[in-house]
């Protein structure tokens, strides 16, 4: 849905250097698979210089459909983003991995992030994702506190039976709702919200089905002491909406951490 008078973000057409990219797989025994990764770094920065690392679920899709590395390059070129790197994580079997899967959370925290840190010096780690990818980043933080220093979650699939009965046919619905219920019940389950209370920025389209569960999650996060904010836009559940929310919301988070 495009509203009247819509214009794409200026950064999409701004001058930007391409940066340095590398593609490789990280084998993960717990998943019986490899996680495909493409890293992005600003030009002229040695690998051993510590920089924040943006870890992005559905990373190749974010780049192809939302111009993520163009956003990063344009922001750094103009000085409104700090220098940072990104790790674009391929989704693999997305529904299985990103649906509050404890094996995937363990793989991300104990295999993927350490492997990336062995290649690139990392000062802070920011988890990013949309839809199920956002859910999976929040789940990884809950299962492995300290793995991530901040979260940027777009249109998270924070399903509850009361708000999302239309999702019941989703194969992993019960696993997702069980995890989300534990958060709303005060973190009493093993997947509950832990310390440290890291900053969380959420975005969601006011026209999409997930807006109600995102509003509820923002309230829960703040109630448990997290510095969390939900920002609603006029669009729906798509990469255009997620792209258009990168600035100012991801920008503000990265500046805060950088």
pLDDT digits (tens, 9 = 90+) for 216-239: 999 999 998 999 999 999 989 999
For strands 20-28 and 33-41, give the pairing. antiparallel
Please check the confidence at residue 1 and state whether its pLDDT lies above 90: no
pLDDT score for 5: 79
pLDDT score for 36: 98
pLDDT score for 191: 52
Please check the confidence at residue 39 and state whether its pLDDT lies above 50: yes
Beta strand extents in 107-216 (DSSP E only): 122-130, 150-154, 200-205
| Structure tokens, 30 | 């717990």
pLDDT score for 199: 98
**Is the C-alpha dihedral spanning 7, 13, 19, 21 positive or negative?**
positive
Beta bridge partners of 28: 33
pLDDT score for 120: 97
Please check the confidence at residue 3 and state whether its pLDDT lies above 70: no
- H/E stretch holding 88 reads strand 85-89
19 and 72 Cβ atoms separated by less than 8 Å: yes
Please check the confidence at residue 80 and state whether its pLDDT lies above 50: yes
pLDDT score for 90: 98
Q: What is the mean pLDDT of the chain?
A: 95
pLDDT digits (tens, 9 = 90+) for 160-219: 999 999 999 999 999 999 999 999 987 544 556 888 899 999 999 999 999 999 999 999
Predicted confidence band of residue 115 (pLDDT cuts 50, 70, 90): very high
Q: Which CATH number fits domain 12-257: 3.40.50.1820, 3.30.200.20, 2.30.30.90, 3.90.1520.10?
A: 3.40.50.1820
Residue-range domain boundaries for the chain:
12-257
In this structure, of 114-118, 139-143, 170-174, 186-190, the range with the lowest mean pLDDT score is: 186-190
Q: Could you tell me the pTM of the whole model?
A: 0.95
pLDDT score for 173: 98
pLDDT score for 187: 58
pLDDT score for 2: 53
pLDDT score for 192: 63
Average pLDDT of the segment spanning 54-82: 98
pLDDT score for 186: 74
CA 197 – CA 194 distance, rounded (Å): 7
């Amino acid at each position: 849905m495009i509203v009247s008078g819509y214009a794409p973000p200026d950064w999409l057409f701004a001058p930007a250097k391409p940066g340095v990219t590398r593609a490789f797989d990280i084998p993960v025994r717990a998943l019986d698979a490899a996680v495909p990764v493409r890293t992005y770094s600003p030009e002229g920065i040695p690998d051993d210089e510590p920089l924040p690392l943006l870890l992005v679920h559905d990373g190749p899709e974010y780049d192809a459909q939302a111009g993520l590395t163009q956003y990063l390059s344009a922001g750094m070129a103009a000085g409104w983003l700090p220098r940072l790197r990104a790790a674009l994580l391929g989704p693999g079997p997305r529904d299985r991995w990103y649906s509050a899967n404890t094996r995937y959370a363990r793989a991300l925290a104990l295999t993927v992030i350490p492997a990336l840190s062995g290649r690139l010096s990392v000062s802070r780690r920011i988890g990013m994702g949309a839809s199920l990818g956002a859910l999976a980043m929040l789940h990884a933080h809950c299962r492995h506190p300290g793995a991530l220093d901040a979260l940027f979650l777009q249109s998270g699939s924070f399903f509850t039976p009361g708000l999302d009965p239309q999702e019941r046919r989703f194969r992993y619905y019960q696993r997702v709702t069980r995890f989300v219920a534990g958060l709303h019940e005060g973190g009493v389950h093993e997947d509950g919200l832990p310390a440290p209370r890291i900053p969380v920025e959420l975005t969601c389209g006011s026209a999409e089905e997930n807006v109600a569960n995102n509003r509820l999650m923002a309230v829960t996060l703040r109630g448990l002491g997290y510095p969390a904010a939900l920002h609603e836009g006029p669009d729906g559940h798509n990469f255009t909406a997620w792209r258009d929310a990168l600035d100012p919301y991801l920008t503000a988070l990265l500046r805060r951490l950088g």
